[in-house]
Amino acid sequence: MNYPNLPEDCTSMLCKHLTPEVFEALKDKTTANGFTLEQAINSGVMNIDSGIGVYAGDEESYSTFAPLFDKIIEDYHGFGKEDKHQSNLNPDDLNAPNPDPDGEFIISTRIRVGRNVANLPLGPAISKEQRDLVESSVVEGLNTLEGELEGSYHPLLGMSKEVQDELIKDHFLFKEGDRFLDAVGLNRNWPEGRGIYHNKEKTFLVWVNEEDQLRIISMQMGGDIKEVFTRLVNAIKSIESKVQFSYNDHIGYITSCPTNLGTAMRASVHIAVPNLAKDMEAFKAITDKFYLQIRGIHGEHSESEGGVYDISNRRRLGITEVQAVQDMHDGVVALIEAEKALKA
């Protein structure tokens, strides 16, 4: 393998941290699952507009390719190689009264975590047989859920395009054909082994075998962040009693993208702030202060529509789940105050 051709104007974490010295140290290394440096960096090589540009093929990738991954983890999360991740999934520790009880600004709230099955490769290095085993074992566990979490599983294989497009349009289902995921092999054998589980109200959903093997999602209209978090915690604990998740004391829950390590949690609101959006500098000053990320309303790499934005926590590793949701809540309170002041 030769040093990749990385243009001067490339700004991804890959371009920043894959120095010739790091490349020489790692170019011939392979994990026990046969995952190589070339595979780990291919997404960032093929997609020069990546923000990060690397994915792990298994938990071992984070140690085998540590000279590269540690630098990216430190840069993105501010988390050192000697640091220890702590988890806190206790909703009682969250101070999050509804920031918008009259429903003037917040359209909907969604909190999700990524999870991967212990002792198996992650999506980029998994075999078709292993991925199908993940689907069957996870779905077996999901089908035992009761009460609010009771629902049904819908494989992507055989799903009509109309149903699929409707679920995506309504923000419930993942998109397909993501070029970043494609370049690291996460879309192999698509759509086999992929699907979505959800309850009748679609307030509890689980994606199976997209970027991570599970994305456990709680969502509803309005701004009752604490209710969404409580439902998610109940779901995580119920599923964890059936399926063992990949976790280690250093970097927490193991995910294919290093940005999702630790809590693997993204807590978001879709919020209408048309006045604040006219001054993006002021908008970003508030989101930066509360470690928040601004996204479009149809997921990553999408645009906002009608002054509505997806606002979520940026920090996921080195803080607890309660702190990640607190970041989002407190930032949303500040955004609403700023929007009200401009509206007045």
Active site residues: 112, 211, 215, 257, 259, 266, 295, 300
**Which residues neighbour 265 within 8 Å (Cβ) at sequence distance 6 or greater?**
111, 112, 113, 313, 316, 321, 324, 325
- Residue span 30-69 as binding mask against ligand ADP, x where in contact by CB under 6 A, dash where not: ----------------------------------------
Q: Which CB, 84 or 179, lies closer to ligand ADP?
A: 179
Residues of span 217-246 touching ligand ADP by CB under 6 A: 219
Residue 131 binding: pick among ligand ADP, ligand DAR, none (C-beta 5-8 Å cut-off by kind): none
Closest residue to ligand ADP, judged by C-beta, is 299
User: Residue 238 binds which entry of ligand DAR, ligand ADP, none, with Cβ cut-offs from 5 to 8 Å by kind?
Assistant: none
231 contact, one of ligand ADP, ligand DAR, none, CB 5-8 Å limit per kind: none
Cα 21–Cα 25–Cα 31 angle in degrees, nearest 5: 145
| Residue 257 interacting entry, from ligand DAR, ligand ADP, none, C-beta within 5 to 8 Å by type | ligand DAR
Does 185 help bind ligand DAR (rule: CB under 6 A)? Answer: no
* Residue of the chain from 42, 116, 213, 268 that contacts ligand ADP (CB under 6 A): 268
In the complex with ligand ADP, the residue whose CB is nearer, 23 or 172, is 172
Give residues in contact with ligand DAR (CB under 6 A): 50-53, 180, 211, 257, 259-260, 300
Give residues in contact with ligand ADP (CB under 6 A): 108-110, 112, 171, 215, 219, 266, 268-270, 295, 297-300, 310
